[in-house]
Structure 1
Amino acid sequence: MDTAQLQREIREFAKTAGIDKIGFTTADPFREMKNRLRRQQEAGFQSGFEKGSLDERTDPSLLMEEPESIIAIAVAYPSKMENPPKGKKGERRGMFCRASWGLDYHDVLREKLALLEAFITERLPGARLKSMVDTGELVDRAVAERAGIGWSGKNCSVITPEFGSYVYLGEMITNIPFAPDEPIEDGCGDCTLCLDICPTGALIEGGRLNAQRCIAFLTQTKGSLPPEFRTEIGNRVYGCDTCQTICPKNKGRHNRIHEAFEPEPELAKPLLTPLLSLSNREFKERFGHMSGSWRGKNPIQRNAVYALGHFREASAVPELARILIEDARPYMRGAAAFALGKIATEEAADALRQSAEEEKDDEALGEIRAALRLIQDQQKEVPR
């Protein structure tokens, strides 16, 4: 089959498959990206969630024998929610980032890539194809940038002219020699809003991220959060959109295109206190279809505890006290102690004093004592 004709047909089919943007590039190694990843690794800026070695992440020939091209796809997701529920005193709410609204994008994009694979192999039975979404070895951003999907922004997201940075990315390595598309010229200019607003200074410079300080990463970690980040996460229970919402290229990009990604308001902005008593089964039943559930309930519940401390939500003291006394997870008891210290009511102090006498874990006990000192310091500051 004529490759140019097949390429045109693929572009047309992509529209019917719900793929918002498609691009083609060579399967040459991503040499500059490899150098950047090596610098990240040496600086200790990687998240630890990355798959594969530096070579595997940047050389398609290690993932498929004799590759010729890579097809990159982008699918837009919404940035606005209709009738979002409002949090208020006594009913505080957390927040999942926009990339976790609706159905898990990994599943949705894999289905679209599977449709694309079937379309290609029907026309070219000997084609060899390997698809991946986010959790594959290749760096999605590097592939998308070289395939003309968008440019790599200073916020480390691919920014498209049509949808801003609110896009999911996927790619397919193939042995078909498609003509490559031209990359898009960088559109960030001298804008530094994303760098200026990053709550933890995770954006070291334009296009360079210290994942260890990134709130989106921190909300997905397990165990305790370092004290310097606990108040910075605010009411985020999963992910962070700050460097996207500030971006001028995202202004007016609502992207309400795919029903699968429409948020369920009560899940995208859930009440915080009820999250704390969910069992594993209940969590999976309620949130399991969202990408933000991939690490399980533990990080979400820990973040919810910190968020209640952020709000100084006094109505949550009984539930936080229950966690402090009864929860089997020492880091959750420590998080509850931190939150109670921020809330600083007499009831909170009583719970902390009681737990201080019973706590056996050194780290949790340290959190309890620190919370009691915080309350004492606050009481000293109150004018008599």
Structure 2
Amino acid sequence: MNVAQLQSSIKEYAASIGIDKIGFTTAAPFLELKNRLRRQQELGYQSGFEESDVEKRTEPLLLLDRAESIISIAVAYPSKMTDAPRGKKGERRGIFARASWGIDYHHVLREKLQLLETFISEKLPNAQMRSMVDTGELVDRAVAVRAGIGWSGKNCSVITPEFGSYVYLGEMITNIPFAPDVPMEDQCGDCTLCLDACPTGALIQGGQLNAQRCIAFLTQTKKPVPEEFRAKIGNRVYGCDTCQTVCPKNKGKYNLHQPAFQPEPELAKPLLLPMLSLSNREFKETYGHMSGSWRGKNPIQRNAILALAHFKDETAVPTLADLLVKDPRPVIRGTAAWALGQIGTSEGMEAVEMAMQNEEDPDVRIEMEKVLETN
């Protein structure tokens, strides 16, 4: 079987295992990206979750000897939830971003890439391959753009004509010299809806993101959320979809065809108060199969407290008051104090005043002092 026939059979096989789009590109260095990543590092705009070595992120040959090509795959995820539960007074709900609905996409895409590797090995036993999804060294989006999967939107997402930007990406470096696909034309035009709608101004300009201001990043950190962003997080317990939901290219793109990513409504839009009492084990049992659980329960519980403050939920006051004195985590106690200040009941203020008498953590005391000064 020659390379062209193999490439054609890979495309057919990919479709049969639920890969929505597949593209091919060379293993040449990503030179323009290298300069951009260095600039991002200089500006302090990176999240810290990514591979820090810019060379590894942009030089496929450092990751696989004799690399010739990269195969890029995209799998669509749903943008719409049917039967979404509605929150109401006393039963407020948070929301996980769409990219965390259903089964953790890292597992799903890795499985599909593994099937592709096996398929290629059977056709070409000497083939060398190295696959990665999201947590690998290469920048998934840059590979996908060069492989013709979609174009790079101003919201820093890869936008496909078929599925909008609601796609998960993965890639495989290989020593097989596949014919490269042609990159797509940028179709954002002069639209700036995503830039205008970003709640924190994290999108500095089209295609440039300051991750330190991005709500999707902030919801995954383990430290206290900086005060300027707390009210902007709203009821998001993980991630943020604003720059995708306002995008005209996503209009009508519901992508309901992948069974693995169908949201479980009670988990995708969970009740907030019950989340605050979950043990580590209960959290893993309930949310462990979702990609939004990767940082553990602490950030999610902190975000749930911010969401209760967003709703000014007075029914949460006894629970938050309890956390103030009983929770061993300073981040949770400090966030609970701030939330009680936002809700603003006299019971909440009394709880903060009482808890402060025994609080020893200096950062938590500062949060409590601010609350008592402003209420």
Task: Give the TM-score category using the shorter length.
Answer: over 0.9
1:236 maps to 236
2:103 maps to 103
2:330 maps to 330
Deviation at 1:374, TM superposition (A): 2.3
Deviation above 6 Å: which 4+ runs of structure 1? Answer: none
**Match of 2:158, as an amino acid?**
V
Write the distance in 2 (CA, Å) between the matches of 1:76 and 1:6. 24
1:380 maps to none
2:282 maps to 282
Structure 2 matches for 1:277-356, cutoff 5 A? Answer: 277-356=277-356
How many equivalent residue pairs? 375
1:382 maps to none
Deviation at 1:371, TM superposition (A): 1.1
SS in 2 for 1:23: strand
Kindly indicate whether residue 53 of structure 2 is the aligned counterpart of residue 53 of structure 1: yes
2:184 maps to 184
Deviation at 1:356, TM superposition (A): 1.5
1:173 maps to 173
Deviation at 1:268, TM superposition (A): 0.3
Write the distance in 2 (CA, Å) between the matches of 1:168 and 1:337. 38
**Match of 2:228, as an amino acid?**
E
Write the distance in 2 (CA, Å) between the matches of 1:317 and 1:65. 59
1:366 maps to 366
1:227 maps to 227
SS in 2 for 1:321: helix
Unpaired stretches in structure 2, ≥5 consecutive residues: none
Write the distance in 2 (CA, Å) between the matches of 1:275 and 1:373. 29
SS in 1 for 2:168: strand
Kindly indicate whether residue 125 of structure 2 is the aligned counterpart of residue 128 of structure 1: no
Q: TM-score, normalised by structure 1?
A: 0.97
Write the distance in 1 (CA, Å) between the matches of 2:144 and 2:253. 19
Write the distance in 2 (CA, Å) between the matches of 1:155 and 1:32. 18
Write the distance in 2 (CA, Å) between the matches of 1:178 and 1:236. 42
SS in 2 for 1:103: coil
CA deviation profile, 1:203-253 (whole Å, cap 9, x unmatched): 000000000000000000002111001001000000000000000000000
CA deviation profile, 1:116-173 (whole Å, cap 9, x unmatched): 0010000000000000000000000000000000000000000000000000000000
Write the distance in 2 (CA, Å) between the matches of 1:76 and 1:105. 10
Write the distance in 1 (CA, Å) between the matches of 2:308 and 2:300. 12
1:270 maps to 270
SS in 2 for 1:47: coil
Contact 1:153 1:188 in 2 (8 A): yes
**Match of 2:72, as an amino acid?**
A
Contact 1:109 1:133 in 2 (8 A): yes
SS in 1 for 2:125: coil
Kindly indicate whether residue 12 of structure 2 is the aligned counterpart of residue 12 of structure 1: yes
Write the distance in 2 (CA, Å) between the matches of 1:373 and 1:188. 47
Contact 1:342 1:374 in 2 (8 A): no
Deviation at 1:68, TM superposition (A): 0.3
**Match of 1:132, as an amino acid?**
M
SS in 1 for 2:232: coil
CA deviation profile, 1:54-93 (whole Å, cap 9, x unmatched): 0000000000001000000000000000010001110000
Write the distance in 2 (CA, Å) between the matches of 1:192 and 1:275. 36
2:158 maps to 158
CA deviation profile, 1:303-362 (whole Å, cap 9, x unmatched): 001111111100000110010111101111000000000111111111011011111111
Unpaired stretches in structure 1, ≥5 consecutive residues: 376-384
Write the distance in 2 (CA, Å) between the matches of 1:36 and 1:327. 43
SS in 1 for 2:243: helix
Contact 1:46 1:211 in 2 (8 A): yes
Write the distance in 2 (CA, Å) between the matches of 1:231 and 1:265. 25
Identical positions, percent: 70
**Match of 1:365, as an amino acid?**
R
Deviation at 1:52, TM superposition (A): 4.5
1:113 maps to 113
**Match of 1:167, as an amino acid?**
V
Deviation at 1:369, TM superposition (A): 1.2
2:199 maps to 199
Write the distance in 2 (CA, Å) between the matches of 1:169 and 1:309. 35
Write the distance in 2 (CA, Å) between the matches of 1:33 and 1:363. 39
Q: TM-score, normalised by structure 2?
A: 0.99
Write the distance in 1 (CA, Å) between the matches of 2:197 and 2:323. 34
Query: What root-mean-square deviation, in Å, do the aligned CA atoms of Structure 1 and Structure 2 show?
Result: 0.6
Q: Which moved more, 1:287-296 or 1:325-334?
A: 325-334
Write the distance in 2 (CA, Å) between the matches of 1:374 and 1:130. 56
Write the distance in 2 (CA, Å) between the matches of 1:372 and 1:276. 24
**Match of 2:49, as an amino acid?**
F
**Match of 2:246, as an amino acid?**
I
**Match of 1:285, as an amino acid?**
E
